Amino acid sequence: MLHMSGDIVDKEKISRCLQTLQSTSPSYLLLASLDAARAQLSESPDTVFNQAIELANEAKSSLKRFPGILVLENSSFLTIRAIDPLRLTVGFWELGLSGYEADEILYRDFGIVCELVGNKSITYALNLGTCRDHVQRLLSGIKHLAATYPSIQQPKDEVLTEHTPFDDIITSLTPRDAFFASKRKVTIKESIGKVSGELICPYPPGIPVLIPGEVITERAVNYLLHVRSKGADISGASDPLLSSIVVCNVHKKQLVS
């Protein structure tokens, strides 16, 4: 379901794209669910999320009292006017834990399932079905981490403090050309400067760091090795342990600087 308002996007262009990509046989279970959600919102638009927002605010207030736990709030940004009130983004780096490590403990010991995991934080989603017991279990789990790991203060890992390496992308081949190119496997250290022959995507969060046709940088390799060591699963790679990477057989003179 797409919500469009105003003239920011070309509605006719969106319609043409949908006709190209959209199935003519949608899931009627999904359509029924969307219609029920629409009806619920139309009947009580001003109050339907009140309980969930109240629980989210209570959770934020409690989390801020836990030592070593940081909570993302509006005041965290100077240029963003608002953030989703039904998302709780919690930072664990002052406990010496990555988001992956904290998520593993909370899932294993408390049965808490998150929406998104990052290097330093975890995001949890609240919705109409969230009840106070769910929030209390989340608070209990995070309180356990704050009580168990306060002494693991350690220097911030240089890679941990970096953003995902998306600002120095160099493309040598189109994804299509990379798909059909001859390839070979090399060790991950040997892959630096070569052209990726596969899509490599840490999960969570599920955003590709390398796609076929991109030049593999040292920063990308270091980032991938770091998140792998912290517990992220590597999707798309022929070697999920990242001891090797598939690269395209491209001569250096073909590389685009």
**128 with 196, same domain?**
no
Burial letters for 114-153: b for 16+ Cβ neighbours within 10 Å, e otherwise?
Answer: bebbbbbbbbbebeeebeeebbeebbebbbebbeebeeee
**143 with 181, same domain?**
no
- Do the domain assignments include residue 26? no
The CATH number given to whatever domain includes residue 131 is 3.90.1150.10
pLDDT reported for residue 63: 96
- Do the domain assignments include residue 217? yes
pLDDT reported for residue 158: 43
Whole-angstrom distance, CA of residue 215 vs CA of residue 95 = 35
- Do the domain assignments include residue 162? no
Contacts of 44 (CB under 8 A, 6+ apart): none
pLDDT reported for residue 163: 58
- Do the domain assignments include residue 156? no
- Do the domain assignments include residue 166? no
Which of the listed residues 130, 148, 166 is the one where a domain comes to its end? 148
**119 with 204, same domain?**
no
Range of the domain at 233: 175-254
The CATH number given to whatever domain includes residue 238 is 3.90.100.10
Whole-angstrom distance, CA of residue 21 vs CA of residue 13 = 12
Which of the listed residues 148, 164, 197 is the one where a domain comes to its end? 148
Whole-angstrom distance, CA of residue 45 vs CA of residue 60 = 24
pLDDT by residue, tens only, the chain of 257 residues: 778 888 888 888 888 888 888 777 878 898 899 999 889 889 888 888 999 999 999 999 999 999 999 999 877 777 777 889 999 999 999 998 989 899 999 999 999 999 988 888 999 999 989 999 999 999 999 999 999 987 555 554 543 444 567 777 889 999 999 999 999 999 999 999 999 999 999 887 788 999 999 999 999 999 999 888 888 888 889 998 999 999 999 864 455 54
Whole-angstrom distance, CA of residue 186 vs CA of residue 243 = 9
Largest Cα span, the chain: 64
**136 with 220, same domain?**
no
Contacts by 58-65 with C-beta closer than 8 Å and gap 24+? 58/135, 59/88, 59/126, 59/135, 59/138, 59/139, 60/88, 62/139, 63/88, 63/90, 63/139, 63/142
Name the 3-class secondary structure at 239: coil
Environment class of 94 (CB within 10 Å of its CB; exposed 0-12, middle 13-18, buried 19+)? middle
- Do the domain assignments include residue 24? no
**138 with 184, same domain?**
no
How many Cβ atoms sit within 10 Å of the Cβ of residue 91?
20
**55 with 142, same domain?**
yes
Contacts of 19 (CB under 8 A, 6+ apart): none
How many Cβ atoms sit within 10 Å of the Cβ of residue 245?
25
pTM: 0.70
- Do the domain assignments include residue 13? no
Please state the domain count of the chain: 2
Whole-angstrom distance, CA of residue 167 vs CA of residue 162 = 11
Query: Residue holding tokens 């995070």?
Result: 142
How far does Cα 19 stand from its chain's mean position?
A: 29
Which of the listed residues 129, 148, 167 is the one where a domain comes to its end? 148
- Do the domain assignments include residue 164? no
